[in-house]
Structure formats: C-alpha cells, structure tokens
Amino acid sequence: MFLTVDRMANILQPVRGTRDLIGEDAARHTHVVETARRVTGLYGFSEWQTPIFEDTKVFSRTLGETSDVVTKEMYTFEDRGGDSVTLRPEGTAGVCRALITGGLTQTLPQKVFYAGPMFRYERPQKGRYRQFHQIGVELLGPATPLADAEVIASGWHILQALGIAETVELQVNTLGDAASRAAYRDALVGYFLQYLSELSDDSKLRLEKNPLRILDSKDEGDKKLVAGAPRMQASLTDEARAFFDSLQSYLAGFGVPFVHNPHIVRGLDYYNHTAFEFVTDALGAQGTVLAGGRYDGLVEQMGGPSVPGVGWAAGIERLSMLIAAPPATHVPVAVIPMGGDCEGRALQILKSLRAEGIAAEIGYSGNAKKRLERANKSGAAFAVLVGEDVKLKNLASGEQLDVAPETLAGLLRA
C-alpha cells in the first residue's frame, strides 16, 4: 500500500537533527555502550546517571558565557516555575555537579562512566545531530599524570574492543599549568593585538575575555592568523614540562601509541596540562571520535572544593559508523503449535524456555505452515513443533527429532 502525497504531508516527522534508533542502528548503538561499560568496569569505573536537564548555570558558569556552546547551541528554556533550565550539551559539568551535591568530594577518587543523550542546536551533518549520544569517563581526585594516562588508556582499550583502533590516531598536547597558561595568554594577547582589525567580531570579544578561544575559531580569517600565533610550548614552566614528559612515559607503559600535536587546545579556563583527541579519516574528512583532557579547576568553579579531574567523551553516532555490524544478540527459538488445541501446551513450553534463559517466540496467528514460514524468515535456528508429540526442528538442515519437553533447554544449549 502506497501513501498519497496528501497523506504523507499529514504524517508527523522527527524534529530536524534527531533520528530514531531502530534495527541495526539500535544494535550498533547498544554494542558501543555495552562495550564501553564492560571495558571501563575493568578499569574500576562505576556508572553514574545524571539528569538530562540542569539549572542553566551548571553549563553557563562552566562552559563560559562567551563560548559558542553557551551563546549559540544550548537548548535553554524557562520552566513553568520560572526557573531557567538547559538540556545538557555535555556530560562533564553534570558529573561534577553531582560530585558536589552528592557530598562525594570527601571520598576520592571517584571513577565515573556515563552514557546518554546530549543536546546542541547546530547544523545537522554526517554523524552529528541535535540530539546526539555520548559515552564518557571522569576520574576525579588524582592530580598525577598516571591518572591522565589511565583515562586515555581506557579510551584506547574501548576502541580496540570495538575493532576500530587501527583506524584512529591518538594526538596529545600539553596546556601547561596555571603559570604556563598565564604566560601563554600574555603572548597571545600581544600577538593578536597586532591584527586586531583583521579578527572576527567574535574573536575580538574572545581577546578580551579568553584569547585561547581564538585558537578554536571557525572563521577562515581567524584561522590564517592562528597559523602564525605563538605555541604553548614556549611558555611552559619546568613543572609543566615534567608533567607532560611523565604522561608520555606512562602512555608508552600502557602500550598506547600516540603523536604530539601542539595545535590541540582547550579554550576553557579550567583546562590544564593534558589535552588529547583520537582522530580518524575513515569518515571522510578527518574528525574526532573521542577527546578529553585535564580540568583541575572545574569543581572549584562550580562552588565545590579544589578537586583535580581528567576525562573524555566520545560520540556514539560516530563510533557506530566505524564499527562492523554487531552480531544479533538473541536468535530466538520459534515455538509453533500444530493446531489450535495445542496452543496451551505451546505456551507452557514457551514459558519454560524463557525461564531457562532461552529466547523464544510464538506466532500470534496463522496456521502451522504460515508460522513455520515466518520462523524461517525471522532468522530462528530452531523451531519447536508442538502437536500430540513435541519435535525439535533444525531450520537450516530441515532435520527434526522427537523430544521430551523437559529436555528442550539442554538440547538447545548443546
């Protein structure tokens, strides 16, 4: 049956930038999350679930009032009580808020894994949606480069488990300590002031509030100026250099291959020391699939005590596009009553198989022949034919044998 144009026009469609996860898309999504949950568990991370909307200040205070996320991309609205709330654009701020409000700043370290939807109003494109999904980890408490290396290694291990490690490259950089960043800020201001008239309006504002954000500018004119800007390495203190050297040694110890990319930056004030990205060109133009860094000032900025932190986030949509199709999680056994008077007995067998942990389905209607045809099309490996006797049929070979109902579970597991 085909729908007319008029009827098509009346069908409600998904909101732009969202999509349904059905069939293989859902299977890929689930496989990424379950793989990440399993691997991070090996590293001692436990799963947290924070609300998908928060007080707007959770994000505006931490992401920066002048950041693109806050000024252009957040889904912010006033609820019926007059409070400003925001659909979460990322996961780290909510985790740090939960650390504080949950009274967990005295029980450190906290090793957190999360997975769920995020929301940003931006132009939808391949692998990027307005409702998108992320997995992520946060390690809160340790200030040592070993913590950074372990967080990065957990991401690398997940990419290996997904079978895509060979398609990505880990790039790392140092953002230095507070003294390094202060010196670097001064160097950037001195440089960009020479080209003030050539900067975009957004970057002129960034120059006053946080010149490091200019390095992330998407404006083509800004990009040309950024190419000649000073590099962080020239402003590093001895302590910051030692931290970065230790990080690289630990990564080598974990067996994680990497390259140093001095162009990786984080414009937010609470980022320091480590910044990293796993990038790939397997999706066309080079893109980032997993990225993170150290953010020692974030918890304090949110009103809590000084708690060091390091973490990463990865887009499930992009990871799903890179992995091979996962195997079916359940191949059900088809239970087929061979006549209407056999349905009660078939239901008992269906119930007993499920109680034994065996996926089983029964056709809701049709004669035995039709139900058997549907079972073949469903991908089921076996059918249980319930008549006066019970028969177990191999749907691939066509072989069947008489069985006692109580032996079915054992035979199907063999």
| pLDDT for 5 | 54
pTM for the whole thing?
0.86
Q: Does 337 share its domain with 313?
A: no
Has residue 201 been placed in a domain? no
| pLDDT for 285 | 67
Q: Which residue has the tokens 């390259």?
A: 259
Q: Does 259 share its domain with 404?
A: no
Mean per-residue pLDDT of the chain: 90
Percent of the chain with pLDDT over 70: 94
Among the ranges 58-67, 265-274, 335-344, 399-408, which has the highest mean pLDDT value? 399-408
Q: Which residue has the tokens 């996962």?
A: 326
| pLDDT for 147 | 98
Q: Does 341 share its domain with 276?
A: no
Kindly tell me if the per-residue pLDDT of 67 is higher than 80.
Answer: no
| pLDDT for 243 | 97
Kindly tell me if the per-residue pLDDT of 146 is higher than 70.
Answer: yes
Rounded to an integer, what distance in angstroms lies between the CA atom of residue 331 and that of residue 349? 17
Query: How far out from the chain centre does Cα 271 lie?
Result: 20
| pLDDT for 183 | 93
Has residue 143 been placed in a domain? yes
pLDDT, greater one: 258 or 61? 258
Task: From 136, 26, 49, select the one nearest 90 (Cα to Cα).
Answer: 136
Q: Does 256 share its domain with 130?
A: yes
Q: Does 103 share its domain with 150?
A: yes
pLDDT band per the 50, 70, 90 thresholds, residue 1: very low
Name the residue range of residue 314's domain: 24-177+237-322
pLDDT, greater one: 128 or 264? 264
Has residue 214 been placed in a domain? no
Q: Are 366 and 393 in contact (CB under 8 A)?
A: no
Of the three residues 322, 354, 388, the one that is the final residue of a domain is 322
| pLDDT for 3 | 55
Average pLDDT over residues 32-59: 96
Kindly tell me if the per-residue pLDDT of 222 is higher than 50.
Answer: yes
Rounded to an integer, what distance in angstroms lies between the CA atom of residue 100 and that of residue 62? 14
Q: Does 304 share its domain with 268?
A: yes
Kindly tell me if the per-residue pLDDT of 45 is higher than 60.
Answer: yes
Has residue 197 been placed in a domain? no
Of the three residues 322, 355, 384, the one that is the final residue of a domain is 322
Angle value at C-alpha 315, between 312 and 317, nearest 5 degrees: 165
Average pLDDT over residues 76-95: 94
Task: From 196, 9, 42, select the one nearest 113 (Cα to Cα).
Answer: 42
Rounded to an integer, what distance in angstroms lies between the CA atom of residue 165 and that of residue 292? 17
Has residue 18 been placed in a domain? no
Q: Does 162 share its domain with 36?
A: yes
Of the three residues 301, 322, 343, the one that is the final residue of a domain is 322
Q: Does 302 share its domain with 364?
A: no
Per the structure, the count of domains in the chain is: 2
Provide the CATH number for the domain around residue 364: 3.40.50.800
Q: Does 92 share its domain with 127?
A: yes
Rounded to an integer, what distance in angstroms lies between the CA atom of residue 177 and that of residue 241? 9
Cis bond before residue 109 (omega within 30° of 0): yes
Has residue 251 been placed in a domain? yes
H or E element at residue 409: helix 408-413
Rounded to an integer, what distance in angstroms lies between the CA atom of residue 404 and that of residue 402? 7
Percent of the chain with pLDDT over 90: 64
pLDDT, greater one: 11 or 348? 348
Q: Does 79 share its domain with 149?
A: yes
Has residue 202 been placed in a domain? no
Q: Does 245 share its domain with 356?
A: no
Per-residue model confidence as pLDDT tens digits over 184-218: 999 999 999 999 999 999 899 888 888 888 887 88
Has residue 224 been placed in a domain? no
Task: From 171, 94, 173, 90, select the one nearest 140 (Cα to Cα).
Answer: 94
| pLDDT for 99 | 98
Average pLDDT over residues 67-71: 65
Provide the CATH number for the domain around residue 30: 3.30.930.10
Helix (H, G, I), strand (E, B) or coil at 7: helix
Q: Does 28 share its domain with 64?
A: yes
Q: Which two tokens stand for residue 167?
A: 């398609």
DSSP label at 73? I
Task: From 91, 43, 93, select the one nearest 64 (Cα to Cα).
Answer: 93
Q: Are 380 and 396 in contact (CB under 8 A)?
A: no
